[in-house]
Chain A
Amino acid sequence: TQLLEQSPQFLSIQEGENLTVYCNSSSVFSSLQWYRQEPGEGPVLLVTVVTGGEVKKLKRLTFQFGDARKDSSLHITAAQPGDTGLYLCAGASVYSGGSNYKLTFGKGTLLTVNP
């Protein structure tokens, strides 16, 4: 069974602070996706990282995929109250044949940014 461990589970910070969320696994994934989920809604994709060592930026969010493709981090600069939400990482596992896959999710990091 492939597991993704996210840390911290809960994070409460003040507006303007920086933060990093971690996603770790003992398994190698073909790609890793980060989602954000707000209360009462489904997760929405933020980014997909595919190549080991890859870094992607999305405004104030920076995503990194580990060299061994087992771990990832999300760094938010100058957090704002609008960043509040549940951040989920998900690893893609490809079925034999290579055309189908499923996502295994971590438990998420619940971020609260206080004004």
Chain B
Amino acid sequence: NAGVMQNPRHLVRRRGQEARLRCSPMKGHSHVYWYRQLPEEGLKFMVYLQKENIIDESGMPKERFSAEFPKEGPSILRIQQVVRGDSAAYFCASSPRAGRNNSPLHFGNGTRLTVT
């Protein structure tokens, strides 16, 4: 997992607050994916971004969730007005600029969000 950096590792928020999760991809990678993992539910795709572009956000809830990957800086997954059901582990993964379909995804160690 070396290379993809996620922070914070643990995040506690009260209901109604905002959560901001950060992901710095591996050097040279310009494709970023966000996944959510709940116990016994596996990894659920949320959003796929390239620099300054959202390629596929079909897995993102329509409200309260947004993601960005600016030209400079990390990718941000933002959850507004968090609810208890948002508690989960959120993983970021990156792949090389010229991604091919058999290139692996490199995952970070996740951010564990707990909403109290």
Measured CB to CB, the residues of A under 8 A from B are 9, 30-31, 33, 40-45, 48, 50, 88, 90, 92, 94-95, 98-108
Closest to A98 in B: B101
Total count of chain B residues near the partner, CB < 8 A: 29
Q: Does B41 contact A (CB under 8 A)?
A: yes
B48 and A45: CB pair below 8 A?
no
Measured CB to CB, the residues of B under 8 A from A are 1, 4, 31, 33, 35, 40-45, 48, 50, 55-56, 91, 93, 98-102, 104-110
A41 and B1: CB pair below 8 A?
yes
* A105 CA / B93 CA spacing, docked (Å): 13
The 8 Å CB contact of A42, one of B40, B50, B108, is B108
B99 and A106: CB pair below 8 A?
no
B43 and A43: CB pair below 8 A?
yes
